[in-house]
Chain A
Amino acid sequence: MELKNIFKFNGGVHPNENKSLSSSLPIARLPIPKTLVLPLRQHVGHVAKLKVKVGDQVLKGQIIAEADGNISAAIHAPTSGTILKISEEIIPHPSGLPDFCVTIESDLKDKWIEKKPIAWKKLDSAALIEAISSSGIVGLGGAVFPSHMKLKVNQNQSIETLVINAAECEPFITCDDMFMRETADEIIQGTLIAQTILQAKQCVIGIEDNKIEAYQALKKAAQKTSIEIKIVPTLYPSGDAKRLIYLLMGIEVPKEKRSVDLGIQVFNVATVAAIYRYLELGEPSISRIVTITGNVQNPQNYEALFGTPLSELIEAAGGKLNKTQKFIMGGPMMGFDLPSINVPVTKAMNCVIESSPELFPSPKPVMPCIRCARCADACPVNLQPQELYWFSKSSQLEKAKDYNLFDCIECGCCTYVCPSNIPLVQFYRYAKSEIIAQDKAKEAANTARERNESRLARIEREKKERAEKHAQKALGAQEKNSDDEKKLTIAAAMERVKQTQQENIKN
């Protein structure tokens, strides 16, 4: 395969791919679990609005929570059964905090709700987007942004190019690779649908040169279409949307802009296939392909219903090996430790790696930075990580911001190549969260100050008005109404109280 017209970004790294571990066997289907736990927030945006209560019977594919507003996604029952409870459960999130979940007790009948395929060839874009908005489909590459929102075209900027992200650059992960090999037709169909909805003039699929089989499958499926399939070098993080756009088109999307602002929209392969399945077959988003790999008996890809406990996935892959200490969700470059093996499979869960000390040795002792700038050579954003580290470590947050800390995509390349074993990305995460917290505090303080100032102004104004009134009355009225006097006394007393309070606040 030759690499034609590829624009190389700065840096990047090429770790051991470790992909063949899990790509030798076809995708298997997990048995229906007894209970399924469905977090109401599996996407970017608003939490889905609950539509069921405990004890309700649900059918496979039935909506159990609907999208709340535009930036939200519906949750469907992945199988038929009864709503067992609605409670806070541990979810697969780096925070390790519980979130609201619906637990379904499966009746093992797996009975579908009446499927309603959509005659998509006859509908216009608006109607299709409206239809897809209740499909529950979100970006399955990991970003989990509601897909119908990405299909809406901004009036000022038409979409020129649809990019399909088939790079899958993180080591170990093969869910997209296997999915492409086995389901290339659905991907191409979905791509054509997305292209039609977006009215994109051209469409290009970007795939790394380590996925020959998947490339050939796509090529074959796309034969009679105008879709271009471009091979990009295997170099992490080529699957980062902005990096992929650059590789394919030589266009740099700035930090503050989204690719749509430049007329480019990006979808993951599994996402477009899900759109196709929803329209063509009437099947909403209820399952995904998950890679289970690493220190496991049978590394493989599984099609798992959302809500399936991770423990069952581990069981299917041959169970936990002795040395396994923990489980990582995502890849080894950007993934995170799972808080428990009882978390459910979610829309974002592309890969689970069983960790072992051999696979991921504990980090070596940290040495001082020697400014060798290997990190800068590896940074795909062309930042100077050694400077950002210096500023983050010494809490010179303004400086860190000046040196474009917020352009950092936290890909981990800098940490990967650091001879001093400095956990650079963790410093950047810390600095970013500190800056955000400070900005929020500043904003809150500003709001409080503004409120206080307007309150003081109001008090001053009222005082003046009262004084004027009082003066007028004193001039005009001989006989004083005792009531008025009372009111004034009360007002004056109130005023004193207010002033005292004011002073207390000031002090």
Chain B
Amino acid sequence: MDNRSPYIADAPSVSVIMFKVLLALIPGIALYVYVFGLGVIVNIILASITVVLAESTILAIRKLPIKPFILDGSGLVAAWLLAVSIPSIAPWWIIVIGTLLCITFGKHIYGGLGYNLFNPAMVGYAILLISFPSIMTHWQIPINLMENHIEWLDQIKIVMNSHLLSKETIDAMSSATPLDYIKTQLTLNQPLNIIQQNKIFGFLGGKGLDLVNLGYLVGGLYMLKEKIISWHLPVAFLASLFFIALIFYSIAPDTYASPLFHIMSGGSILCAFFIITDPVSGPTTPKGKIYFGIAIGLLVFIIRIFGGYPEGVAFAVLLMNIFVPLIDSLTQPRIFGHK
């Protein structure tokens, strides 16, 4: 006879955990819509449809039960994270291709839920960035900064079929991100305080982008409270990014943006709470999480400042994913009663 104890359990299911992550994304997404319009919603819908259809097909091919592995919600989390990471004015096929890459090469090629070595959303993002660099660095500017008034339908049209819009409208809608803008302007020997007088800069980071980041921060704090994520990763990552930025900023404030700007720009907050906290591709030990977070913070800064890309989150995360088994094995906690 088998000893089956314990007979009781008290744990949120994987589905509940994943749907709470989706819920935590809502404030950020809502602010995204408020600042940039409906493009992001179109992308999220496309990503959701793609991920469910693609994952169902893969599960059927792999002869695995479809329902539990769709309902676990992990595919949706990856798809939503990708959808909010790409430019909201990218054509529809970008998110569709990205989601397909994410779910196949990011997840199922390794065996599906629980087995992927790399963060699936970042796999999709990195391949898109390398394959379509122009589209992937062409971002929308906040609606209230646009010179022409833009209809909500136009916000959808630009994703679904940009030929329906005039070239002027499209040009009016897009610009470089603040991080990108600083990078290009610095090569023209502009001092930072002049660069940052551009209208796309806001109080903390990019105008409007800092608001969206605050939305993600609220979601992140909710996940901390709900014990979906532990504090180690976001704190280690943000602290490391902050301190390396602080060092450079205090040496040459004309060339290097302030630490707070780094925290509130690009994907820093999303990365801190939603990307590096993916449990499957991240370390599990408390110490390991801290080292992992610190390393990604440093890499993000290095890629932003010295790399070829204006934002470094995806590459930093993927690079560090490689080290996760090593980090885990080197950071085993002390066992009760051991020296």
Contact = CB atoms under 8 A, between A and B. Distances in A.
Interface of A: 9-10, 13, 15-16, 94-96, 171, 242, 246, 252-255, 257, 328, 330, 332-337, 339, 355, 360, 363-365, 367-374, 376-377, 380-384, 386-387, 403-404, 407, 412, 415-421, 423, 425-426, 429
B250 to A, nearest CB: 37
Given A332-B6, A337-B1, A412-B5, A242 B279 contact: no
B3 interface: yes
Given A96-B1, A252-B336, A335-B5, A15 B279 contact: no
B67 to A, nearest CB: 10
Interface stretch (B27-35, B81-89, B111-119, B144-152): B111-119
Contacts of B284: 371, 373, 376, 384, 386-387
B308 interface: no
A255 B5 CA distance: 22
Contact of B10 (A15, A255, A355, A425): A15
Contacts of B72: 367
B99 to A, nearest CB: 20
A254 B114 CA distance: 33
A264 to B, nearest CB: 13
10 contacts: A171-B8, A372-B17, A376-B284, A381-B336, A382-B334, A387-B284, A419-B13, A421-B11, A421-B13, A426-B2
B14 interface: yes
Contacts of A328: 5, 7
Contacts of B114: 367-371, 420
A367 B338 CA distance: 32
Given A10-B336, A376-B284, A384-B284, A419 B1 contact: no
Contacts of A376: 284-285, 333
B119 to A, nearest CB: 13
Interface string B273-290: 000000110101100000
Interface in B313-339: 328, 332-338
A336 B9 contact: no
A246 B72 CA distance: 39
A89 to B, nearest CB: 16
Contact of A255 (B1, B112, B115, B337): B337
A225 B207 CA distance: 72
Interface of B: 1-14, 16-17, 68, 72, 74, 112-115, 230, 279-280, 282, 284-285, 328, 332-338
A108 to B, nearest CB: 34
Nearest to B1: A96
A246 B335 CA distance: 13
A426 B3 CA distance: 7
Given A252-B337, A364-B13, 19 more contacts: A15-B8, A95-B1, A330-B5, A333-B5, A336-B4, A339-B1, A364-B9, A368-B114, A370-B74, A371-B114, A372-B17, A376-B284, A376-B285, A384-B285, A387-B328, A412-B6, A417-B9, A418-B11, A420-B114
Contact of A333 (B1, B2, B6, B332): B6
Contacts of B333: 376, 382, 384
A423 B9 CA distance: 10
B8 A360 contact: yes
Contacts of B8: 15-16, 171, 332-333, 360, 416
A387 B337 CA distance: 19
A336 B113 contact: no
A415 B338 CA distance: 23
Contacts of A16: 8
B5 A355 contact: no
A44 to B, nearest CB: 17
Contacts of A355: 7
A380 B336 contact: yes
The 6 closest A-B pairs by CB, nearest first: A368-B114, A412-B6, A254-B337, A96-B1, A360-B7, A373-B284
Contacts of A9: 336
A374 B112 CA distance: 21
A433 to B, nearest CB: 11
B5 A370 contact: no
A372 B20 CA distance: 14
Contact of B113 (A10, A254, A367): A367
B151 to A, nearest CB: 43
